[in-house]
Every structure is written in structure tokens, then in C-alpha cells.
Amino acid sequence: MKKLFVPIIILLLASALQSCGRNALKQIEIENPKQLKVEIIKELAKKVNSKDTLFLVTSRMFGVCGNDERYDGITTPKEKMNELKYIKENPYYIDENKDYKEKYNFNDKVIITGTAFDNEFTSETIKFNNDSLKIKKEIFDIQYISIKKDTVDISVFDYNNNKHSFQFKMALNNSVWNITK
């Protein structure tokens, strides 16, 4: 009897997660993300002392082996519960793959945005291997530490040296993002 009871409970839990979970919890993109990203670029231009072109990693790609036997294409109830818990704790997000322009000019600095994959920086205007240009180029990486409805904590890392450069906070006031002091 006990052996029959466990699969039935798991089946009921899985179906409840699928029917309720999809509609009950969804992440929402923050308000005015395009303007937020422009303000982040402006702050980077102010804080970094460089006369050379700056490169900014706005999204990262990670290599995944297609033959990974650990992933079978099925989401288990435990994985789904963890996913729902994460969404509940983090209801807002910023889409790193949109709204950034390819090139910005602020404070006499040129900032080119792009993607990091393995050890390469790629944008539509330039592609290079970080090892070959490490001494010549400054590459920074934006990471969103905390995303709330009206505040975002941002950390900027020196991509080449894998160290923290600076951190700041943005606040939303009347649909406009501003840096907080």
C-alpha cells in the first residue's frame, strides 16, 4: 500500500505544480530597462579613468556539452519547486540581451558592449581574444546583484583580472532611474 501511495503523491504534486505554478509565479521585467542601462553606462564612464576604448560585457554565454548525461530533458518536481522558490524570491529581472546599444560615447570615452564566451569578447563591431589583448584593453563586466521593483544593485568587475572594480545602486523615481548616493 505504501509503495502505491508515494507515486500518487508525486503525481499529484507534479500536476499541481504544472497547473498552478505556471500561472501563479512569473518574473516581471523591471520598469524602463532601456533608460536604466544608459544610466549604468554613464556611471561606468564617470568612474573609469581611461582614455582608451572601454569594452563592456553585457551578457555571458557558457559552453554546454550536448552530450551531458546529467540532463535528461525532464524537470523533476524538486527542480520545479526550486525554480518556483527562486521566482518567488526574485520576482523582477533585467533582460541582459536587449536594450544595450553597440556603442556609447560619454565623457570623451567610447564604450563598446558585447558578449563574453570562454575567453573571447564579441560585438558586432569587434571580436578579440582576451589573452592576446589583455594588456591593451580594459574589459568590464556588469553584474546585477539585487533586482527589486524600484532598486537595482549593480557591481562592475574588471573582466581581465577577475576582480571587483566598483558597486553602485540605482533607484526608480517617477519611472526614471537615478544613481543613489
pLDDT recorded at residue 110? 86
Q: What is the mean pLDDT of residues 36-62?
A: 84
Predicted confidence at residue 21, as pLDDT, reads 47
Mean pLDDT of all residues in 45-63: 79
Q: Kindly give, in sequence order, each residue whose CB lies less than 8 Å from that of residue 23, ignoring residues fewer than 6 positions away.
A: none
- Domain segments of the chain as ranges: 30-66+94-179
Q: What is the pLDDT of residues 121-172, one digit of tens each?
A: 788 777 666 665 555 567 888 889 999 999 999 999 887 777 888 999 999 9
Does residue 2 register a pLDDT over 80? Answer: no
Which comes out higher in pLDDT, residue 64 or 37? 37
Rounded distance between C-alpha atoms, residue 127 and residue 115, angstroms = 10
What is the model's pLDDT at position 16? 57
Checking if the pLDDT of 18 tops 60, the result is no
Q: For residue 11, is pLDDT > 60?
A: no
- Tell me the pTM: 0.73
Each residue's pLDDT tens digit, 74-130: 778 888 888 889 899 999 999 988 888 888 988 788 888 888 877 777 887 776 666
- Three cell numbers at 101? 546599444
Helix (H, G, I), strand (E, B) or coil at 72: coil
Radius of gyration over alpha carbons of the chain, in Å?
21
Alpha carbon distance 139, 113 (integer Å): 10
